[in-house]
Amino acid sequence: MVARLLLRRLLQAVPLVLGVVVLNFVLIQLVPGSFLDVMTAEQQVTDPALIERLRVTYGMDKPVWQQLLHYIGAVAHLDLGYSYRHNLPVFDVIAAHLPATLILMLSSIAIAVLVGVTAGIVAAVKVNTWWDTLVSVAAVVCFAAPSFWFGIMLIVLFSVRLGWFPVGGMTTIGADLGPLGTALDILRHLVLPAVTLGLFYAATYARVMRASMLEVHRNDFVRTAYAKGLTRARVIVGHMVGNAILPVVTLLGLQIGALLGGSIVVEAVFSWPGIGGVLFDGVMSRNYPVVLGMLLLCSVFVVVANVVVDILYTRLDPRMAKEIR
């Protein structure tokens, strides 16, 4: 069943990704200016003959519809274009910076789910107590605080004042620590940016998990479990959490794109060498092949995340399997 569901969702994703490719290309074409204008303004290229030759080389002399068809065909062959800024194919540029972003995203997702779900469970179990109030206040603060401000405050406290963590970067420059030492060094650099990004989404998950736990607690099967003599801990862990976590899983799948966008801001604050800086430079320098490649990457992430969410639904609640199919 899982294989059939996976195949069905992947087939549905093909026209969706194609639509995203077309939409992104059209939006980029509507933006005024090109990288040739930037190069001319920076006086990197002033010869009109060379500018025209570059225009022909990058296919900018053709009608827009021909450029679109050529781009769709190139994407189908995993050719995302060429970055004049890096003097490399866009695919290589993304591949060089994507691992750092994936490490940050996966770490922040783990923190968000672990902290948010745990806090939501505690708030629901201790409803209308000071625990519930503490979780609610902390959730509001973490959600309302801008990510860049929250990251700067963590740097000031834990890096500048206490000296526990590095100010920024992904590794210690010039250090030869070996495989294990390098991994620990990356982990030490990762703590603050992952916490900054993770706590923002943990606030949302905590509120959703609290409301879902309180809703599940009123169901008949929970009262039946208590009537059978099960302890409160077994009822909560064995019966309530599995049903209450479904809205959190749904929300996580919908927020993958936003999570990737939020990582761009956090990467800038902590000088994390991910795709955020590359995307920002691509926008400022009109390096549109890089921008289109990044937008396509975000779209693929969202599609894959929602396929994973559908599969998780069938595991967490088998009753959903027929509806998902």
User: Is 283 contained in some domain?
Assistant: yes
- Whether the per-residue pLDDT at 133 is higher than 80: the answer is yes
User: Is 83 contained in some domain?
Assistant: no
User: Is 226 contained in some domain?
Assistant: yes
- Whether the per-residue pLDDT at 56 is higher than 80: the answer is no
Give me the number of domains the chain comprises: 1
Question: For residues 57 and 290, what is the distance between their CA atoms, to the nearest angstrom?
Answer: 17
DSSP 198-254: HHHHHHHHHHHHHHHHHHHHTSHHHHHHHHTT--HHHHIIIIIHHHHTHHHHHHHHH
pLDDT at 43: 57
Instruction: Give 11-37 pLDDT, tens digit per residue.
Output: 777 888 888 888 888 887 777 766 666
CATH number at residue 277: 1.10.3720.10
Average pLDDT of the chain, as a whole number: 80
User: Is 10 contained in some domain?
Assistant: no
User: Is 81 contained in some domain?
Assistant: no
User: Is 263 contained in some domain?
Assistant: yes
- Helices marked H in the chain: 2-30, 35-41, 48-57, 64-76, 90-125, 130-144, 147-154, 178-217, 220-227, 232-235, 241-244, 246-254, 256-270, 275-284, 288-316, 320-324
Q: How much of the chain, in percent, has pLDDT values that exceed 70? A: 86
User: Is 28 contained in some domain?
Assistant: no
Question: For residues 249 and 317, what is the distance between their CA atoms, to the nearest angstrom?
Answer: 12
How sure is the predictor about 81, in pLDDT bands with cuts at 50, 70 and 90?
A: confident
User: Is 116 contained in some domain?
Assistant: yes
Supply the range of the domain harboring residue 214.
Answer: 91-324
Q: Are 199 and 107 in contact (CB under 8 A)?
A: no
